[in-house]
């Protein structure tokens, strides 16, 4: 997406926040999966602790919609 080349600092922070929400879903899924054992969880635990405990599911589709509204808010 060429629109990502000219983002303001605020837009970059919004994109980072959206990606962080998606990371939270993945981290929760990893730690709560019955067949996955994390042997060196230090960085994952840091991410997990920065996530909101009761965060609702944030899908890839929601991420795409959010990114589109961030980079081209006039088209929403």
- Residue 47 falls inside a structural domain: yes
- Residue 36 falls inside a structural domain: yes
Q: What does pTM read for this prediction?
A: 0.67
Whether the Cβ atoms of residue 69 and residue 76 lie closer than 8 Å to each other: yes
- Which pLDDT score is estimated for 1? 58
Number of domains within the chain: 1
- Residue 57 falls inside a structural domain: yes
**DSSP category for residue 72:** -
Which own/partner pairs from 59-64 qualify as long-range (CB within 8 Å, at least 24 positions apart)? 59/25, 60/22, 63/18, 63/19, 63/21, 63/22
Please state the rounded mean pLDDT for residues 11-32. Answer: 85
Please state the rounded mean pLDDT for residues 7-21. Answer: 89
- Residue 2 falls inside a structural domain: no
- Residue 22 falls inside a structural domain: yes
- Number of residues assigned to the chain: 76
The 10s digit of each residue's pLDDT in 43-76 is 787 777 777 665 677 888 999 999 989 887 665 4
- Which pLDDT score is estimated for 63? 92
- Residue 75 falls inside a structural domain: no
26: containing domain = 7-70
- Residue 76 falls inside a structural domain: no
The 10s digit of each residue's pLDDT in 25-46 is 888 788 888 998 888 888 787 7
């Amino acid at each position: 997406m060429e629109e990502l080349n000219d983002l303001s600092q605020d837009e970059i922070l919004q994109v980072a926040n959206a990606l962080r929400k998606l990371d939270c879903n993945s981290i929760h899924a990893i730690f709560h999966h019955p067949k996955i054992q994390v042997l060196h969880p230090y960085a994952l635990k840091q991410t997990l602790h920065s996530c909101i405990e009761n965060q609702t599911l944030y899908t890839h589709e929601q991420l795409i919609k959010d990114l589109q509204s961030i980079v081209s808010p006039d088209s929403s």
